[in-house]
């Protein structure tokens, strides 16, 4: 049932270590979809070639340091060239970033805060992820200090807190809505949503939304096992020998969740995700700078297996959107997050038609 490539589609060989091959590739296309990670090691040469040679570029990175470093280094040059570089267009973080915007658009009033809860469900075969994602996490967490320095260098404009301040939850807490335990989500979603909200506030004068992301992990027993594994992981990433161990034996240190082979077809077929968004804000005519929030909304984004089914759907639909909704993109080229690039486009409509579904679970009630 897979579509066959037409005879007119060629294969170009290029290498991130060979700038000339990347330049030749970028000159022959309007848009490059870059799937080669960890991006901290392999991503920048592709971005540089695209900016230099006038090709747009989309990637599926969930690595905040790479994403924000590309903004620092290439945003102005990409703007001059009229080129769009849009990172994190996979499961990290199209569902989260666009989910916040969808929640905002579905609320009649002013949305000021959102909490999201991710739940991944797997079938009898279980679920697993290729160790490329594991490596990204290992090196990303090891380099947190440099991420902080990078953000100081960028000098982000502060974003005001509108409405009641969103309270942070603990590291582990019992979630009454789902009747299971939850922990903060360690993916790139929060950093990417912040970048989108900063852009929408500073460039379009839209009310910024506060955001926190969590993941549901099940029973107390599951939570204790995960906490132990997480403690060991955080300890080992601090040392070079620990990082070598983690990257050499991902299956052992992740209890089989990350493997060098990646998931089987049966595992992918039996796995799905749901992200539930709880939003609060102020009804129409109510000043969000005064008083408590008086309106709530619950929305949901659900889809197939996140890493290998939902991610290519998100990436390809982001690419189609960039090409077909060009008039709705930011006026200038540059390095953007998905929410900043696609907030005025039909991306959510396209995703809905392709199996990543956005819906309202409960409508706002004052």
Give per-residue pLDDT as tens, 169-217: 988 999 999 999 999 998 899 999 999 999 999 999 999 999 999 999 9
Our count of domains for the chain comes to: 1
* Per-residue confidence (pLDDT) for residue 364, from 0 to 100: 58
Q: Exposed, middle or buried: residue 114 (CB in 10 Å: 0-12, 13-18, 19+)? A: buried
**158 occurs within a structural domain:** yes
Is the Cα dihedral 55, 193, 183, 318 positive or negative? Answer: negative
Does the structure show a pLDDT above 60 at 253? yes
Integer CA distances (angstroms), 170 to 54, 214, 262, in order: 46, 10, 32
Does the structure show a pLDDT above 70 at 1? no
Q: How far apart are CA 193 and CA 330, in angstroms?
A: 17
**97 occurs within a structural domain:** no
Contact 213, 116 (CB under 8 A): yes
Q: What is the helix (H) or strand (E) element at residue 135, kind and residue range?
A: helix 131-142
**60 occurs within a structural domain:** no
Contact 86, 57 (CB under 8 A): yes
**319 occurs within a structural domain:** no
Supply the mean pLDDT for the chain. 92
Contact 215, 182 (CB under 8 A): yes
Sheet with 56-59: strands ordered across: 31-34, 56-59, 84-86, 334-336
Does the structure show a pLDDT above 60 at 2? no
**pTM above threshold 0.85:** yes
* Per-residue confidence (pLDDT) for residue 229, from 0 to 100: 83
Q: What is the mean pLDDT of residues 241-263?
A: 89
Q: How far apart are CA 286 and CA 289, in angstroms?
A: 9
* Per-residue confidence (pLDDT) for residue 140, from 0 to 100: 83
The confidence band for 366, taking pLDDT boundaries of 50, 70 and 90, is very low
- pLDDT more than 70, % of the chain: 97
Q: How far apart are CA 294 and CA 310, in angstroms?
A: 35
Does the structure show a pLDDT above 60 at 5? no
Q: What is the mean pLDDT of residues 257-269?
A: 90
Does the structure show a pLDDT above 90 at 46? yes
* Per-residue confidence (pLDDT) for residue 168, from 0 to 100: 92
Q: How far apart are CA 70 and CA 84, in angstroms?
A: 12
Collapsing DSSP states into helix, strand and coil, what is residue 8? coil
Q: Name the one residue in this structure whose structure tokens are 């992301």.
A: 213
Q: What is the mean pLDDT of residues 141-150?
A: 87
Q: What is the mean pLDDT of residues 230-246?
A: 89
**17 occurs within a structural domain:** no
Collapsing DSSP states into helix, strand and coil, what is residue 205? coil
- pLDDT more than 90, % of the chain: 73
Integer CA distances (angstroms), 195 to 15, 155, 169, 337, in order: 30, 12, 21, 7
Contact 295, 47 (CB under 8 A): no
**258 occurs within a structural domain:** yes
The CATH number of residue 289's host domain is 3.30.360
Contact 332, 75 (CB under 8 A): no
Q: How far apart are CA 196 and CA 102, in angstroms?
A: 13
Cα angle 159-164-168, degrees, rounded to a multiple of 5: 80
User: Residue 166 belongs to what domain range?
Assistant: 106-304
**93 occurs within a structural domain:** no
* Per-residue confidence (pLDDT) for residue 223, from 0 to 100: 85
**146 occurs within a structural domain:** yes
């Amino acid at each position: 049932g897979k579509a066959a490539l037409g005879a007119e589609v060629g294969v170009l060989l290029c290498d991130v270590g060979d700038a000339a091959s990347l330049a030749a590739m970028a000159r022959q296309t309007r848009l490059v979809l870059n799937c080669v990670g960890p991006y901290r090691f392999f991503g920048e040469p592709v971005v540089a070639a695209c900016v230099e040679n006038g090709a747009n570029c989309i990637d599926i990175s969930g690595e905040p340091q790479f994403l924000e470093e590309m903004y620092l280094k290439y945003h102005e040059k990409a703007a001059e060239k009229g080129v769009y570089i849009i990172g994190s267009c996979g499961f990290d973080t199209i569902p989260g970033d666009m989910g916040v915007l969808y929640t905002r658009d579905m609320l009649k009033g002013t949305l000021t805060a959102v909490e999201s809860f991710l739940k991944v469900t797997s079938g009898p075969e279980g679920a697993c992820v290729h160790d490329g994602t594991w490596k990204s996490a290992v090196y990303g967490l090891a380099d947190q200090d440099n991420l902080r320095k990078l953000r100081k260098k960028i000098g982000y404009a502060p974003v005001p807190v509108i409405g009641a301040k969103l309270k942070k939850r603990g590291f582990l807490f019992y979630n009454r809505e789902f009747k299971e335990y939850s922990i903060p989500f360690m993916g790139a979603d929060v950093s990417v949503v912040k970048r989108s909200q900063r852009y929408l506030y500073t460039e379009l004068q839209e009310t910024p939304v506060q955001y926190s992301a969590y993941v549901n992990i099940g029973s107390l027993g599951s939570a204790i096992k995960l906490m132990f594994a997480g403690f060991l992981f955080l300890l080992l990433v601090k040392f070079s020998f620990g990082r070598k161990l983690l990257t050499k034996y991902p299956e052992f240190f992740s209890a089989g969740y990350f493997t060098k082979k990646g998931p089987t077809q049966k595992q992918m077929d039996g796995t799905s995700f749901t992200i539930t968004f709880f939003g609060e804000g102020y009804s129409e005519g109510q000043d969000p700078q005064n008083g408590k929030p008086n309106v709530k909304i619950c929305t949901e984004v659900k889809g197939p297996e996140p890493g290998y089914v939902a991610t290519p759907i998100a990436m390809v639909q982001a690419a189609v959107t960039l090409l077909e909704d060009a008039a709705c993109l930011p006026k200038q080229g540059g390095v953007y997050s998905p929410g900043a690039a696609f907030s005025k486009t039909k991306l959510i409509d396209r995703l809905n038609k392709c199996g990543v579904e956005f819906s309202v679970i409960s409508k706002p009630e004052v």
